[in-house]
Structure formats: structure tokens, C-alpha cells
Amino acid sequence: MNNRLVTTLSGFISGLFLCLSAIPAAYAMPDIQHWVTANGVRVYFVPAPELPMVDINVTFAAGSVRDDGQPGLARMTNTLLDMGAAGLSADEIATRIESLGAELSTSSVREMAVVSLRSLSDKAHLEPALGILADVIARPNFDKKDFERERERKLVGIRRSEQSPSTVADYTFFQSVFGGHPYAHRVSGTEASVKALKLDAVKAFYKRYYVARNAVVSIVGDLDRKAATTLVEQIIGALPAGKRAAALPPVPALTQAFEERIVHPSTQTHVRMGAPGMHRGDPDYFPLYIGNHILGGGGLVSRLHEEVREQRGLSYSVNSYFSPMEQDGPYLLSLQTRNDQVDEALAVMRKTLQDFVDKGPTDAELIAAKKNITGGFPLRIASNSGIISHLNMIGFYDLPLDYLDTFNGKVTAVTQQQINAAFQRRVSPETMVTIIVGGEN
Amino acid sequence: MRSMLSIFLLLGSQMTLAAGAVSEYQLENGLKLVVKEDHRAPVVISQVWYKVGASYENDGITGVSHVLEHMMFKGTDAHPPGEFSRIIAENGGRENAFTSKDYTAYFQRLEKSRLAVSFELEADRMRNLHLQDKEFQKEINVVMEERRLRTEDKPTALTYEQFMASAFVSSSVRIPTIGWMNDLENMELADLQAWYRRWYAPNNAIVVVVGDVEPEAVLALAKKYFGPLKPEEIIPPKPRLEPRQQGKRYVNVRVPAEVPYTIMGYKAPVLGTAEEDWEPYALEVLANILDGGDSARLTRELVRGSQIATSAGAGYDLYDRQAGLFLLDGTPAGAHTIAEVQQALFEQILRLQEALVAADELARVKSQVVASSVYEQDSSFYQAMKVGQLEAVGLDWKLADAYVDRINAVTAEQVRAVAKKYLVEAQLTIAELDPLPMDTGSTPRADSNGGGHEQ
């Protein structure tokens, strides 16, 4: 029986290779429609009539990179949007939204500040939900007592994050890799910086950055272009045009290795190693992305996973990834292991990285990675939520509208030489930051 | 509000059409197959569920279901260790597995033409796993690292684990899915071999497929790959019913941490054990009245109103295999104490026992449930999860479709009735995380139940 299985399987796999080349034509790409409103909002829309629902993301270039010496300011501003608007209280906003079965949320990271709405698409549900979304974006109350309360909640959140060796390692890593660059500081701010925040600064931040020319709206759902156009005007037509946020300064490359060990009362030690990596639209994007997929990005199949976990049982999760941003975002390798094994695990990680930079991938690895990435492409755009996250990225970083259509072709075209060259030019193990947080042994 | 409700009900009937047809089959060897069509995109999700998890385990081998889940990637006679994942990856697949109290499940997401790849490999490892000591010795260390990551170094997770182990004295609900550290340290290959033989068989498995597929074609594939597998004699786990709790229990957890935390639980039935079948749905509504969003009572009154807590929540799961808990938790704000948070939570319960919930609160919960049932269809993974979860605990997957109607039928009187019947002090366990200073940690915290790691 086992023999039979082997035979069948290899027969099947060779069949699949044929199938693979046929894939790009076999399914429909999302029909991305793009326009700019009169006040300057960039809009990206994909109709999805299959389910009676709509997803809307309104994204501003108003993340923590705009904190300007007041860490935590961008996130506080974003949090307060739905804590009262157009004279409605936080209670009233939440009650109205949730009585419609809609979901309204705010979130912010280093570059983006987002307000999202998910709603049923019939008029009786969607219209009132849009009204509230418009209020939250254009008419926040910024009430003093909401500000004080949310500040207290954030302080508790910051204290709790100090309990986690993994979070402490992340904070320290960004600080060390990005130094004086706006990517360096914590999105949440620190206890001291959040205590020092002033409501007037929040209002000024809002006025500067929550403007039409600084916004991207992504919509996926059960509506047509005409309805989408009306919808956008309704939620964001009242925003002043304003100015787009200034371009961020380039990230300086690291010039020498840096290592820091932080004692934490934990049974495991968390390791973060890396450097500035690449940016959105980077000419080396595809070689670096595929190369890293082979080294540490490919889920249960990667060199780091094989060396650290499968061969040696040293870590539950071990991976590496590039986070491309407007400027070079981090290239980050991480693992966690029992305190007394950290030196061994770190040595294996370093050697695996160095080998890859020196010699690059094998033929077989490159073929397997391309098959995984291109063959898995339909999964990325199989749901409304998958599509909207791509729209948001394309819009925010001004990527070409055919980004999704050309993706597989660009992956397929990458050569081993391009990967070797890109890694040797862009990844320098000898000048990386290494952060080690855990218990002493 | 009444007019809004009628809109929801109308939508409800349309949804059934949009949700896609479900086909159900049973192979001669006992394997159950459920296929749900979702033709929105050319992808398929394939999940194999086994009716085994931590609640099937006994003392001394806790965590064995989860360790076996890890070992399922370690090769069969036909495929050496790691090949399973390599083949899935080459086919553009994403895969993983998960273990809970009541089930162990394996899944792949693939472009639709690759379903046979999943079936072939899953059928192979269902009966032909080759458990090797060399692989086990490495993987058990990985699992211990996972335990350190998820539990040992997370003060709230450690508190939850101690809380569950104290709330139940006999029911296997008390067993942590990851296993106690000392049991992991003493686990042997033979434990895994016995566990695999006992539970991994077609008549203890459910295959769930959701995606752009033709049900009869999926059945044919299932027959081809899973059909030849031999069934096993499956002896169901003993009931291990929890003896009645005779008074409030209190658990104190002292570990280095920055922020205190409390969690409380009242013994509560699940769908399979409730005296009245509406009760679990009333408890669901009750959980949503307290914690069904930012307008629900806990956030509105404890976080934004009195500002005693920076977060507070309620939780209940009607689909578990054994009776469990109705949970409440909270984190005190600034100058407030755990005792104040607990008091505020008790006052909320008292109010639910004394006064009927308002019509608009009930309507809010119901609209959220109706809308969620639409949103859920955007995730084929979630749709497959629901079918598998229900079938794995011995419930009919059709109960998931009935959920919206059952919630809509719950009355304010029923919510009050379950609050009075189940949220009573004699059935309560309270745990609190009582932080020790973080800087005592110049020496690492020991693993929670002993066991040094000198090797």
C-alpha cells in the first residue's frame, strides 16, 4: 500500500507542474478601480457582489513617524476618533454602530493611522453606519475626559507590555536599528511620554494630518462604482484638502555590529537580529523577498526553521522577514529559546544567515520557493479582507495598479544570481543589531 | 427597533442562499466528509479533524494529544520527516495544525486543483505515521519551548492555567492543552504510539472541505484516498463528570508582573449537557450583553463609566464537549484594586439577576449575531472551522446554521433565568494575578511545576 501511495503521488505531482504554468490565466484578478476626489483623497475600489457586505478602510499618513518628539501622540489621536464625534459620546457611537451589526475600529502603526468599517451593504444598515464613520473622521470631539481616560488605559497597556520579553526585545530592536529616525520609537510611546501628552497637541496633530490629501480610502464590497463614489464623498467629502505628509528621511545604514543583553525574569530568552532592510517599490524587492522566503519566511519550510527547529529542537518559532515601508523598514530575524541555550541558538541563526548571504539558494530551493509563492497567490485574494489589505498597501505606497497582475510574473523572473547579488549588497551580518532579552542562567 | 429586526430576519433567509450548499457523506470505514461550496474564489480549504484532545487525556500524560500533533509532521513510511510540508509548500499551500481540549485538526489552504495533494498526504499519515525516537527527542524540546513561550512567561496565561486546574477537580476540562511541564519532561515515544493507535482512524475523523469544489468529485477523491484505510475500535472517553462544587474557590498567583489581573468563572452547562436546550443560547446572549462590543455593559460602565477597569470581558463557549465555565475577567485602572474590579463585576451579575435586560440591548446583540453570520462567510477557513468544531464534539454541524434563529428566540426573561440559575456564588472560582516585582528576576523564574533543565 505504501508503494502504491508513492507511485500515485509522484504521478500526481508531475501533473501539477503542468497545471502550475496554467494558473495565472485560470482565475480573475480583482478589478481595481482608482480615482481621486475633488478634495484630494485617493480612492481604490474593488466591487465584490458575492456577499451582502462592505469593507471600508480610511488610512492617513498619520502614524507614529509623525509624533515629532511626543511618542504616543499619533496613536492617542487615532484612538480618540471614535471616543466621541459630532457631539455624540463614545457610548452613543458604539451603541449606534453595534445596533446596526456594523464593526467600527481604529488602529495605528508606524506609518499608517486607520479607521475601518465593516457593514451589511443594504441601505438601511449601510447609510447610518456611513454617517457615523463620517463623523468620526471629520468631526471628533476630543473631549478632555475621554483623553484622560484613554491615557490611563494606555499607561496600563504600556506597563503590561513590559511583562513580555518578546515586546521588550521588539522595542529595543527598533530603537537600536533606527536610532534617531522616526521609525525608532515605540508606537505606543513610553510611560513618561504618554504622561506628558497634551490634548492641544492631539488637536493640532489631527488638524495637520487628518486631511484629504493625506488619505487613502479602500473599499471592497457589494456596491457599484457609482455607489462607491457617493459613499466616498459622504464619508470624507467634508475633510479639508490640506497637505500630504512630508516624505520621510532615508534610513542610514548601520556601520558596526551592536549587541545588547537585557535581563528579564523569564524562562526563555528572545533574540532579535537585523538591520534596515528595504522599502516599498524597492528595485531589489523580488530578489530579497524570495531569498528571504527560502531563508526564513516560508512557514514550516525554510532554512532557519530546518536548522534551528527541525534539526536541533531549539525554538518553537523561528523566522525572518522584511517589512518594506516608505523608507527601508526592518529586516528582522527572530527566535526564542530556553535561557541556557541562547548562545547555541544564536550561533546557528548567524551561521545559517551567513551561509545564505555567501552562497545563496540552491536551484531546488529557488524552484520550490517560486512554486510556493506563485501557486499560493490565489489564496491572497480569495476573500474581501484579503483584497482590501492589498488595496490599502497599493494605495498607501503609490504602487502601480497592476501590482497584483504582474506579481507572479515578477516572482517567476527572479534568478539565483539576482538573489545572491541582492543579499550581498543589502544584507550585512557583520553590522547587524542583536538584542537578547531573557533570564540569566 | 422592531422594524430593524424585521430587516434582519429578511436578510437571514437570503443568507442561506448565499452561504452555499453543504453535502455530507460517510465512507464505509466510518470517515465523515462534509463539503461546503464557496465558489467566490478558486481556492479550497481542507481540514482533517480527530476526536481527541487534552480533555481525553489522563494525569501523567497531559499534553500527549498536542505532542502527537507535532509528530504528525515527522514522517510516514512513504514520506520521510519534513516531506509533508515540502510537498504542500511546492503546491502553493499554506498548512498547519491545532489542538484544543476536544479535538486535533490539520489543515491546508490550496488552489482548488490541488485538493488531492492534501487528501493523499492526510490519508497516509492517518494510519501510517512512523514515530521515531530521534525525531521525538527533538520535537519534545520544541513543545517545551512552546509551553515556555505561551504559558510560563505569560503571567495572565499562567493565571488562567492555575485557575482552570482549581475550578475543576475531576473533569478533564482542567487539563492544559499544552500539558504540564513535568508530564512533557517525562513523556515517552510509547505514550505517543499508544495514543496514535487509539485515536487516529477513519471512524474517529471528520474531513471538512470548503471552497470552489464539486461535492461529488470531492467524495470520489475521499473514497480513493481515505476509503482503503482500516477503521479502529474506538472506545469513547469516560464521562469524568465534575462533582458539584460546594462553595466559592479562590486562587492566588504570584509571579513577576507589572499589571494585576483577575479572572472569575461560574460552572455552566454547554449545548450537549444543558437541562434545557435554550439555556446555552441565553448564556451566549448574556455574555454579549456584558461584552459584545464597545457599547456592551462592561466597557460602557466599568471602563468608560466608573473607570475602575482598563479592560473587562465576559466569555462563554456553548460548543465545548464537557460542561465548563461562564467567564469574567478584568484589569484594574490606575489607583483601583483587583477587589474593586471583582466587586464591580459582581454588581453587574446582580443586576442581571434582578432586572430584565432592556429591549434595545437585546436587539443590539441580535443584530450583531445576524451581521456576523454574513461577515463569517468571507472566511472559508472560519466556515470549515465551525463545521469541524461541532462535529468533533459530537454535535450536528447544522446547529451552526440554526444559531442565528436560536439567538433570536432568546427572551429577556430567559437571560435573567440563566443569570439566576448559574451565576451563583457556590459555583464560583476566582483567580487573581498578584504581581511580584519584575526586578526580583535577576534569577530566572523556575518552570512552574519544578523540573530543572540542567541538560
Residue B431 in contact with residue B166, Cβ under 8 Å? yes
Asked whether residue A13 carries a pLDDT value surpassing 90, the answer given is no
Residue A195 in contact with residue A155, Cβ under 8 Å? yes
Is residue A226 classed as helix, strand or coil in its secondary structure?
helix
A17 near B CB under 8 A: no
In B, minimum Cα distance to A338 occurs at B145
Give the residue-averaged pLDDT of A36-45: 97
Which residues in chain A are closer than 8 Å to B375, comparing Cβ atoms? Answer: 53, 103, 118
**pLDDT per position as a tens digit, A334-380:** 999 999 999 999 999 999 999 999 999 999 999 999 999 999 999 99
The three grid cell numbers given for residue A280, joined into one nine-digit string: 516599498
- Option in B142, B333, B363 nearest A156 (CB): B333
Instruction: Please report, as a single letter, which amino acid is at residue A439.
Output: G
Task: Find, among A79, A295, A100, A87, the residue nearest to A189 by Cα.
Answer: A79
pLDDT of residue A26: 52
pLDDT of residue A440: 82
Q: CA-to-CA distance for A350 and B292, rounded, in angstroms?
A: 47
A-proximal residues of B, 264-293, CB under 8 Å: 292-293
User: Of all residues in chain A, what percent carry a pLDDT higher than 70?
Assistant: 94
Give me the sign of the Cα torsion angle B373, B374, B380, B381: negative
Residue B69 bears catalytic tag: yes
Q: CA-to-CA distance for A92 and A118, rounded, in angstroms?
A: 18
Q: CA-to-CA distance for B61 and B185, rounded, in angstroms?
A: 10
Which residues in chain A are closer than 8 Å to B143, comparing Cβ atoms? Answer: 316
Q: CA-to-CA distance for A45 and A348, rounded, in angstroms?
A: 46
Q: Which residue has the cell 428566540?
A: B409
pLDDT of residue A27: 67
Q: Supply the mean pLDDT for chain A.
A: 93
Assign A6 a pLDDT band (cuts: 50, 70, 90).
very low
B91 near A CB under 8 A: yes
Burial B12-42 (b: 16+ CB within 10 A, else e): eeebeeebbebbebebebebbbbbbbbebbb
**pLDDT per position as a tens digit, A389-406:** 999 999 999 999 999 999
B-proximal residues of A, 216-255, CB under 8 Å: none
Give the residue-averaged pLDDT of A23-44: 84
Residue A104 per-residue DSSP state: E
Give the residue-averaged pLDDT of A412-424: 98
A65: enclosing H helix or E strand:
none
Which residues in chain A are closer than 8 Å to B440, comparing Cβ atoms? Answer: 265
Which residues in chain B are closer than 8 Å to A344, comparing Cβ atoms? Answer: none
Residue A81 in contact with residue A106, Cβ under 8 Å? yes
Burial A339-377 (b: 16+ CB within 10 A, else e): bbbbeebbebbeebbeebbeebbeeebbebbbbbbbbbb
Q: CA-to-CA distance for A320 and B172, rounded, in angstroms?
A: 38
ipTM for the whole complex = 0.91
CA distances from B298 to A158, B148, B265, B357, B363 (A): 22, 32, 16, 14, 17
- Option in B92, B109, B121 nearest A374 (CB): B92
CA distances from B411 to A110, A417, B357, B418 (A): 46, 68, 9, 11
In A, minimum Cα distance to B17 occurs at A51
A262 near B CB under 8 A: no
**pLDDT per position as a tens digit, A113-172:** 999 999 999 999 999 999 999 999 999 999 999 999 999 999 999 999 999 999 999 999
Half-sphere exposure of B73 (CA within 13 A, CB side): 24
Asked whether residue A2 carries a pLDDT value surpassing 50, the answer given is no
Q: CA-to-CA distance for A236 and A216, rounded, in angstroms?
A: 10
Distance of CA A85 to the CA centre of its chain: 28
Give the residue-averaged pLDDT of B246-254: 97
Q: CA-to-CA distance for A292 and A321, rounded, in angstroms?
A: 7
Among A244-258, A353-367, B278-292, B427-441, which stretch is predicted with the lowest mean pLDDT? B427-441
Q: Which of B69, B135, B139, B279 is catalytic?
A: B69
Residue B203 in contact with residue B31, Cβ under 8 Å? yes
Taking one residue from A and the other from B, the number of pairs with CB-CB distance under 8 angstroms is 268
Burial of A398 (0-12, 13-18, 19+ CB in 10 A): exposed
Contact flag B259-A374 (C-beta cutoff 8 Å): no
A-proximal residues of B, 43-72, CB under 8 Å: 43
